[in-house]
Structure 1
């Protein structure tokens, strides 16, 4: 066996791998668009630039992994990226249009500063899949936070989970721009566990949880003038036809939206303008604004496989950390020590399985307690703060558990938990979300 001499020059060289930087010079209002498949670094070497509304610090190395993004500069800059980054410079960017939305929000805020009973801008961003809705939301959050506002961000897209895990609807007060490396993981959100990644599995539950989120945000705004004036920014999913459109309408009404931004869909803009804006224009007597924006040329289309991989990655990051530096804990409990519920009495039967002319009589908001079984293996469960089963659908979620093992002989269930210790509640919620670790 050889001794490892820490003072050896050879060891020092092997522990310090060389980084090859590739420079890009951006002119005023240029954008560096990039794809990162594996871990890579970016750095602002000169000038000023921002990443989805968050300013880059000069000469700081940012580590990113499996992302597609863009760095924008208002006045020009020099960006350096590691040589495993696919990147190009574009001067065709919608940032001026995005900044105009922020300006409208700021004007709204300034106009109600002395009016205690008036609400700040309540912006809902709508549009089909892969048009940049999440990007615009991050930019508006970042610009608002940089001015000292604390807007509420509400994520109504259970398919991806920008605040927490997929399958959840979340609201969080934003007091700083989105972290470039960690995203929104440093916020403390109010979470409702929908439990599914598709809206059509239980649309009644989806609407009920939107209402619950809205009530929680309103209560917070009643306690703070800054929060009230700051308003809210709502991100929605990309399903905009049929039931998707009906749920979008419900979201607008339940959250009392006063600014609708439609990205890259003329029909959706026309339909929402006709319904919510008198005369179909940008201004209405009710104060509602319906606006349209083009899609950025830098938006990447995501395949169904990529979306699934992203969902699985989000769940893994919850337990192991973005950099893989967290150590989740295995918790083993007796069946009798937990109460597991699902909403709606289980998956609905297809209409073809019902008698002709009949409809399902299952209450979509009914809670059904279910016993642990092998079918639960690999499920992601939510831990509710509820004190009793009656308040499950209105209570915040404390966190999530992954079912790693179920022993029917010993009547014990093993969970992967983000931290050690007793569970904060015995009440658990189950949906259809699963994860294969």
Structure 2
């Protein structure tokens, strides 16, 4: 086995206090870093001294409050940033912590935080920092990800909630936490916004039950990450999400207009609205980069981070599964319809579809539902990749991350596709 420390040349970077080391490593490349002196953190998670951290197809930053030295491979394109908003991020976390400390009402939940803002404004980074800081103090907050295009916890096309009971793993990220997920089935919110809003309400009801069932969860509260569509229909969906989760703190990332609009909309409600700048290390992601990130996330689900898992082929008879599609089938996005027109298809309809060749390369979700009528309101057990469909033998070849029979005959399909390398 190749020693990771022998891959690519490295250099040691010296950081003064309140500086951060930013790095970018391209897809299909490997690098590493290690803290050799001082203290530092990556998205709120402390680096262990002299531990090798593998870096693959990622971009990030390591911040130090005290000063440190970090050895990192040169193919990570490391550079030091002097101006960082970490002190402002820390101050916002202190506000969240104060709301916990001052909450003496057993009937009142802890902080219900939603992070909003345009694409590439650092929402996911701030989410990780707030979650990591909370877990370091012994809290167990829920993390809710409502971004179906770039889901941080599980595969794209889903919305999810996960208990964060320990600092976030620097190499695996939020993938190391087991989520409760609802399958939306599309990477874009505007394919079926009514379905998306309905699934969000289902997820919010589950979160409320979790808050009632556990004193620790109630006190810890939750952090919600959102997608970057904040105009027009996207703004209306955002308001619906805020109402569904009964948010009491909104963090607006790098957008004056959104900050002003939300302040005006909620001026009669007790919702604290804060504004934060994005980090200088945040970069603009091209559509190609976004697609590659989605494909990598799906690959990691089946193969594990750094190919640590061995996916399994499973052969299913047509008669042993039932495949359902939500929304009555593929429809044009709302933005593609003529002005003033609405789709005549029921966006919440659930219809069974017969297996066909065009389903090859699709990602399908395995529903926990016991009856078809409960599919819409039930979370999913996991995901399968349709590798092949043989119409003559009536068999479906799927790839699963685990061996053995699938836990349900009910499968959900959307528009999400993947082609393994």
- TM-score under structure 2 length normalisation: 0.96
Q: Tell me, yes or no, if structure 1 residue 97 matches structure 2 residue 88.
A: yes
1:289-336 C-alpha deviation (Å, 9 max, x unpaired): 011111211101110000001101111111111111211111001101
**Structure 1, unaligned runs of 5 or more:** 1-11, 279-285
Q: Tell me, yes or no, if structure 1 residue 274 matches structure 2 residue 264.
A: yes
- The match for 1:334 is 317
On the 8 A contact 2:24/2:77 being kept in 1, the answer is yes
- The match for 1:397 is 380
- Match 1:189 to one of 179, 190, 197: 179
**Greater mean alpha carbon deviation, residues 356-365 or residues 23-32:** 356-365
- The match for 1:226 is 216
**Greater mean alpha carbon deviation, residues 259-268 or residues 15-24:** 15-24
- The match for 1:207 is 197
> How many angstroms apart in 2 are the aligned matches of 1:73 and 1:354?
50
Query: How far did residue 348 of structure 1 move?
Result: 2.5
Q: How many residues align?
A: 418
SS at match of 1:306: helix
- The match for 2:62 is 71
- Match 2:73 to one of 82, 95, 112: 82
SS at match of 1:104: helix
On the 8 A contact 1:98/1:136 being kept in 2, the answer is yes
- The match for 1:7 is none
- Match 2:402 to one of 411, 416, 419: 419
Going from structure 1 to structure 2, the CA distance change for 1:14 and 1:322 (only over 3 Å counts) comes to: closer
Query: Whose radius of gyration is greater, 1 or 2?
Result: 1
1:242-285 C-alpha deviation (Å, 9 max, x unpaired): 0100010001000000001111110000000111134xxxxxxx
- The match for 2:168 is 178
- The match for 2:124 is 134
Going from structure 1 to structure 2, the CA distance change for 1:53 and 1:15 (only over 3 Å counts) comes to: closer
On the 8 A contact 1:277/1:290 being kept in 2, the answer is no
> How many angstroms apart in 1 are the aligned matches of 2:372 and 2:17?
57
Query: How far did residue 354 of structure 1 move?
Result: 9.3
> How many angstroms apart in 1 are the aligned matches of 2:336 and 2:253?
39
- TM-score under structure 1 length normalisation: 0.92
- The match for 1:32 is 21
**Structure 2, unaligned runs of 5 or more:** none
Going from structure 1 to structure 2, the CA distance change for 1:43 and 1:357 (only over 3 Å counts) comes to: closer
On the 8 A contact 1:36/1:67 being kept in 2, the answer is yes
Query: How far did residue 287 of structure 1 move?
Result: 2.8
**Greater mean alpha carbon deviation, residues 352-361 or residues 100-109:** 352-361
